[in-house]
Amino acid sequence: MTRIPEEDRNVMEQAIYLPMVLTVLNRDITVIENSPFKLRQPYLNLIEETMKVIQKELASVKRYMKKNQLAVKQLQRDEAFTMYLFLYHGYEENHNYFNPRIRNKVQELLEHYLYKRHSAKAGAQKHGAS
């Protein structure tokens, strides 16, 4: 059983996932730059703006973790699982993550940051204006 409250655990998981999302987007920039796109700049702009938003959120996560004495370290990885050490106010906990679950979460976050966050904002503005 974990001693870490769900809210703090979610923040710690963001410290795992957000750098992975940035890595994927960096690779995508390279692919787009080397692809025969007719007009590549709009795609690059979208990715770069998305990365700025993610970097701000990651900075916020890191500040929260430092302020609240939280840390996450990857311990080991194999084909199926990745183990992380969660440090919470002096307590240590090992957490095993199924690699396909990590990939699915990163994909979900990519979808959120690339387009779902825009439709959520538009929906909130639409409902707020009525």
- pLDDT, tens digit (0-9, with 9 covering 90-100), for 8-43: 999 999 999 999 999 999 999 999 999 998 999 999
- pLDDT, tens digit (0-9, with 9 covering 90-100), for 55-90: 999 999 999 999 999 999 999 999 999 999 999 998
What pLDDT is stored for residue 49 in this prediction? 96
Name which of 26, 50, 48, 42 is nearest 115 in CA terms: 50
What pLDDT is stored for residue 124 in this prediction? 64
What pLDDT is stored for residue 27 in this prediction? 97
> In angstroms, rounded to a whole number, what is the distance separating the alpha carbons of residues 89 and 112?
31
> In angstroms, rounded to a whole number, what is the distance separating the alpha carbons of residues 115 and 41?
17
CB 9 within 8 A of CB 2: yes
* Phi, psi for 38 (deg, rounded to 5): -70, -50
Other beta carbons within 10 angstroms of residue 55's beta carbon come to 13
Q: Is 0.85 topped by the overall pTM?
A: yes
Reported confidence tier of residue 130, pLDDT bands at 50, 70, 90: very low
119 compared with 78, residue with greater pLDDT: 78
Reported confidence tier of residue 121, pLDDT bands at 50, 70, 90: low
What pLDDT is stored for residue 33 in this prediction? 93
DSSP string, 53-87: HHHHHHHHHHHHHHHTTEEEEEEEE-SSEEEEEEE
45 compared with 116, residue with greater pLDDT: 45
Reported confidence tier of residue 1, pLDDT bands at 50, 70, 90: low
